[in-house]
Structure 1
């Protein structure tokens, strides 16, 4: 409660425009949203990528209900062993070839497919920044999204929030 009050005071003083949270799961978000001005939360930053879809079961629908976007960190599975499995998966490689892009761009386009997920991939070189930006222009078809869903299924039950 005190933190929300402090952040809202900073907004009123013009020192910040918005504030958000990181790694808040469903219970945390419900607690936040029950507080005065808790609904002023502008974003929830969580781990989200094609191989880590746990937020889709309960958290993402809750955030959408309240108009709170997700900021997906590690959308290319940076820092994990799953990265190679994602980038080298035949379905991802096939879609990349079809669209004339790199597999990483397919993963980013997938993460941002609904328009309410902001992906923040690591980009250590200028050409990575440019490639990441072009990923926002990719529109994956329903069939392509279904193929990715088949390769990396959405959760069928609540899962603990993944954190890297």
Structure 2
């Protein structure tokens, strides 16, 4: 990835300000010194001067205060612009917010899709109330939604694919950004086109019947 990005920047095909680069630190590296060292390794691999959003991959043994101290140091040094977390549920976010600097968390990246809606019960409202972005990974549920009959039927009405319906639904959720995978250029173009799809009220009702929102607290899905 780093070589491809560096090559595109050198060739003038992209400007750095057109890219939003996200990277992560693994929990076993998330001590104060380990986080800084891991970030420097990522920057070297990516051949970049800074990372736009740097995430703690999931909870680990290192104190959150140490990880946040490293994040803030990296921000002051200009090595990252923002920091966030991944796979943090509501209780984790509450604990994070109690740590010095925790309110500066920019995003929580979680497994969220039409078929995995557990985050809607209390996590998404918590994030929205504090202006923390929710980043939805696996928004097509690892490809399962691309084969769903209900989504295919809705897609036929709009002349789009089932996967595009799943992404359009996700993009309609306030405070949520989707990060679908794209193995080929055709997939990337299909993902981008989903942003222009506006589902109607009948579509949303049909999707809620097929994929009911949670009525109680559920563990976050993970991949």
Q: Is 1:48 the counterpart of 2:103 in the alignment? A: no
Distance 1:11 1:89 in 2: 43
Of residues 68, 71, 78, the one that matches 1:4 is 68
Q: CA deviation at 1:112?
A: 1.3
Deviation per CA, 1:87-138: give whole Å up to 9, x if none: 3433211210111111000001111112421111111100100000011111
Q: Secondary structure at the match of 2:132?
A: coil
Which protein has greater RCO, CA pairs closer than 8 Å, 6+ apart?
1
Distance 1:22 1:16 in 2: 16
Q: Is 1:111 the counterpart of 2:175 in the alignment? A: no
Of residues 205, 211, 215, the one that matches 1:146 is 205
Q: Which residue of 1 aligns with 2:134?
A: 70
Q: Secondary structure at the match of 2:218?
A: coil
Q: Which residue of 2 aligns with 1:120?
A: 179
Of residues 16, 32, 35, the one that matches 2:80 is 16
Distance 2:106 2:207 in 1: 29
Q: Which residue of 2 aligns with 1:32?
A: 96
Q: Secondary structure at the match of 1:44?
A: strand
Q: Is 1:97 the counterpart of 2:133 in the alignment? A: no
Q: CA deviation at 1:6?
A: 1.2
Q: Which residue of 1 aligns with 2:122?
A: 58
- Of structures 1 and 2, the larger Rg is shown by 2
Q: CA deviation at 1:78?
A: 0.8
Q: Secondary structure at the match of 2:199?
A: coil
Q: Secondary structure at the match of 2:106?
A: strand
Deviation per CA, 1:19-44: give whole Å up to 9, x if none: 11010001100001112211111111
Q: CA deviation at 1:157?
A: 0.1
Distance 1:30 1:49 in 2: 23
Taking structure 2 as the reference length, the TM-score comes to 0.69
Distance 1:63 1:100 in 2: 34
